[in-house]
Structure 1
Amino acid sequence: MIALGNDRVRLTVDPDRGASVLRFEALMGAGAVPVLAPADPPGDGPAEAAMFLMAPFANRARGNRLRHGNHVIPVQPNTDEPLALHGIAWQRTWTVAAQSSDRLRLRLDPADRDPMRLRMTFDIALTATGAAFGLTLETTGDGVLPVGLGFHPFFPRLPETTVAFAAQHLWPEGEGHLPRGREPVPGGEDYRAPRRLPEAWRNQCYSGWSGRADIDQPSLGYTLRMEARGLGALMLFATPDMPRFALEPQSHVSGETATGPDGLRSLAPGASVSGAMALDVSQAAGPG
């Protein structure tokens, strides 16, 4: 495990667990408070971490295929679910390329067994108010590849937690945890004004996302702003029995694993694509 820190935040990463972030805390007057939330009780897998990476696709691969035109790349289920989930980045061992007290670069080179020749780079930089994360995919083979990427952070869910973000479309969950299509955002699922999370299962994607989300945590004494670049979709995952929830910035809609406006991107030989996410903490009045 690798620990990064400054006088405002501290963060722990495990390259051996898919470069997962195990802990991210803000240092405030009352001590350290969680910005990201690992599973409780804790587990050893990346899905139990506070954040993991999604690449070369995010969430579920429809039909266990990635497609670019007539070119189809089959992908194998990698959990106990029938569809491949979140790509390979979160289940591989990464290597350290550069490290300081408040910065880290990790790298994942393609394995011989990989059907997609991609080199991945994960950058973390702590700031005075939080942390900046960057993920880059670069082709190392000869063919055009359909690719996607994203971040899967979990946040503390408390009774007073509110969420706000703007998006143009909703993709409600259908059979097999895949979206059943695109529709205008209905009032009950609209987060343009801050609102608490619903007391029911949610596993749905928003497209046309503005790239910004605000999470107010009065019980923890702060407001968190998420800002993303190169990631136009936002996945919301929340269940009433889980003390954390996920807002996942990603480059494509869940299940849209063919190249297209809402789907994967075509990456030419030697080309690269990147996505970035910043998490900034503002101290607020209240407990903590």
Structure 2
Amino acid sequence: MLLERFHMVASSTVFLLTVGLLAELASGLVENSNDTKTSSGSYAVGRFPFLMPKVIPYKPELYLCTPVKVDYTKSYYIVGFEPNATMATAHHMLLYGCGAPGSESAVWNCGEMAKSDPDGKEEVGSPCGTGSSSQIIYAWARDAPKLELPESVGFKVGKDSPIKYIVLQVHYAHIDKFKDGTTYDDSGIFLHYTLKTMTKQAGVLLLGTGGYIPPNKVEHMETLCDIRENKTIHPFAYRTHTHSLGRVVSGYRVRVDEQGTDHWTRLGKRDPLTPQMFYPVESTEPILYKDRLAARCTME
């Protein structure tokens, strides 16, 4: 008797967006950095090493998190992300902006399937604390290069921001290189930041799908998001992500005209198994109130 196997999969399309603010932002990870440079806008940019603290992954498909507390007396703007990882070690990395971390430990198991350990031998939890603010501010996979945001654009953290902690999550799909018990990992991201007030705040909008794929079949998964905030959003980059069954991921802005007709504008289309970096969008036309964002994933 042959048993057909159904694959449960998840995929996502990530759009990196900027929000043009109508009012000036308030001025204001550490103020003094030994590793600084000057941007093209002639302001100092620091470089903060946010890395795993020499961990030894102990089982396949492990998600580990580690936090850093942001100085909440000042406003900082993250303007670039420099990965320190390879796909041979890390399947992907995520940066979460949190009001509070999901654990008080230096490192904890923060996978989607992580549950409380009844024996108390393993610290588990979500990336961000229960009930705290939570948002993804960066994603990396498949040896993607560093990302530098456009001039005058940054992720605001610290003072006057809901982001008081940044949490790094690393997904270790395979652990063969760590089985000797002596090899450690310090994958992570160097954060480029400044105290200079950025006139536009960056944000990430994530569209995700999930479902089942019958054997030897092609499956399409779709999702749609209504824009319900009265803000003008300027898209400038997108990123796709699936596991090995993904073939194509595409994203669109959908706008309804006065006659009720939908007009679809493609923002990006990509093979998700190419380097999962942020690519320039195909259309930089603003996304407005009552627009919709749609994504479609082809899985096989």
Q: Normalising by structure 1, what TM-score?
A: 0.25
**CA radius of gyration, larger in:** 2
Which structure is richer in relative contact order (CA contacts within 8 A, separation 6 or more)?
2
Larger relative helix fraction: 1
